[in-house]
Structure 1
Amino acid sequence: MTDYMNEPISTRNLDQYGSAELPWSRPRDLLASESPESDLTFFVATVRPDGRPHTAGVGAVWVDDALYFVGGPGTRRSRNLAANPACTVSVRLPGIDLVLEGDAHRVTDPSTLERVATVYRGGGWPASVEGDGLTAPFTAPSAGPPPWHLYRLTLHTAFGVAAAEPHGATRWDFAH
């Protein structure tokens, strides 16, 4: 059983129709069960040096209670994160839309790289560790050449809007 380290320190009900606040376990458990097996598209939004936003679709996985995603070293996403780690990650999960806010930092620890590569392989992307990044025979056309940097999102805030019963809208705040 996973020891959930990213438990919210506060929760706020945002629903205007009287629905109860949603438990964090709902999106967290879906992230754990649906990534990477399901066909989910995650969108990472970063900030350019001039303050303009940049958004890119990425393959992401929830591993050991944290969200990980990749980016080629030369991509706008990676260059933005090197200068400013603040970002959001958005995804439509079964029955709930989710936006995660936080900081994304590059991961170079060999054991974490291998653990995340193993999860990606389980979902059909044949990732392997090469140096301090990940590589594979194929990836998204916009990812740039391998090896790709691996990033871990440190959660600050999350917002969920349930599109299925039980409905509701909730904000979760996390210690960071």
Structure 2
Amino acid sequence: MTTSRRSRSAGGGGCDHQRDHRLPITSAARLIGTSRSIVLASSNHFRYAISFGGLMKPSERIDRRYSDDDGRVVPWTEAEARLAAAELAWVVTVRPDGRPHATPMVPVFHDRKVYFHTGSKEVKYANLRTNPHVLVLAGDTAWEQGLDVAIEGTAVPVTDDALLQKLAELYRARWDGRWQLDIKDGAIVSDLPDSEVVAFEVTPNRAFSHSKGDPFSQTNYRL
């Protein structure tokens, strides 16, 4: 019975999301900020809330097709914390002929949006010029534990100088501080020959989290 449940969970094509590595509340708050909210409806199957003094909170619904019977809804705040803590994520873009292209990148998560930067000679940059739709994946390859998060959204270049300065600040905290970005006149200063460095902002419109280990569950979010 346990094996069939796990197979059913994996059949959803989900990512691995680590329950055991979930950040303490204080860490999550430091990474993604805090907001006050009222839960309008809540159960093991569905959560919906509104916030005041912040962004509208998303709907949260467990997908029973890919979840154990005793699986639980993973709150969006936990999915946000997973994205914020990811040292590496994958971004999937679409080539002009419809073929997908996937590449790892170092993300930052800020105000419910994912940011990354790339050179103007790279494949994903060319893809995004013709098709802004992206998939961002954060997770690991563990099976018995973990929390994987996938978001679908739209990527647009960042040209606001104040926002770029904020992203540069966030990147300095990544890894061991090696991600140093210099900002000038609404652009990232490039040290690449004949190439610009462009930051992209991904606004999610839907997301999924996959909680691994007994009980397995998939939570769907509408943002």
Which band: TM-score by shorter chain? Answer: 0.7 to 0.9
Partner residue in 2 for 1:82 = 129
Distance, in Å, in 2 between the alignment partners of 1:108 and 1:120 is 17
Q: Contact 1:61/1:68 (CA < 8 Å) preserved in 2?
A: yes
Distance, in Å, in 2 between the alignment partners of 1:144 and 1:75 is 13
Distance, in Å, in 2 between the alignment partners of 1:6 and 1:85 is 24
2:81 pairs, out of 20, 29, 37, with 29
Partner residue in 2 for 1:152 = 201
Asked whether 1:70 is paired with 2:117, we answer: yes
Change in Cα spacing, 1:144 to 1:97, as seen in structure 2 (3 Å) is: farther
Structure 1: segments with no counterpart, 5+ residues: 138-142
Deviation, structure 1 residue 146: 5.5
Q: Contact 1:96/1:164 (CA < 8 Å) preserved in 2?
A: no
Q: Contact 2:67/2:216 (CA < 8 Å) preserved in 1?
A: no
Deviation, structure 1 residue 113: 0.3
Higher helix share: 2
SS in 1 for 2:171: helix
Change in Cα spacing, 1:78 to 1:135, as seen in structure 2 (3 Å) is: same
Q: Contact 1:45/1:55 (CA < 8 Å) preserved in 2?
A: yes
Deviation, structure 1 residue 134: 2.3
Summarize deviations over 1:30-80 as a string: whole Å, max 9, x none.
333x25xxxx22111011111111111111101233210111112110111
Structure 2: segments with no counterpart, 5+ residues: 1-32, 36-53
Asked whether 1:57 is paired with 2:109, we answer: no
Q: Contact 2:88/2:104 (CA < 8 Å) preserved in 1?
A: yes
> Under a length normalisation based on structure 1, what TM-score does the superposition of the two structures give?
0.81
Deviation, structure 1 residue 159: 0.9
Q: Which moved more, 1:90-99 or 1:43-52?
A: 90-99
Change in Cα spacing, 1:136 to 1:148, as seen in structure 2 (3 Å) is: closer
2:221 pairs, out of 154, 159, 172, with 172
Change in Cα spacing, 1:165 to 1:147, as seen in structure 2 (3 Å) is: farther
Distance, in Å, in 1 between the alignment partners of 2:108 and 2:159 is 16
Task: Say which one has the larger Rg.
Answer: 2
Asked whether 1:20 is paired with 2:69, we answer: no
Deviation, structure 1 residue 135: 4.1
Q: Contact 1:72/1:144 (CA < 8 Å) preserved in 2?
A: no
Asked whether 1:126 is paired with 2:180, we answer: yes
Partner residue in 1 for 2:50 = none
Distance, in Å, in 1 between the alignment partners of 2:57 and 2:215 is 21
Higher strand share: 1
Matched residue pairs, number?
A: 163
Distance, in Å, in 1 between the alignment partners of 2:137 and 2:182 is 25
Partner residue in 2 for 1:140 = none
- Matched AA of 1:95: G
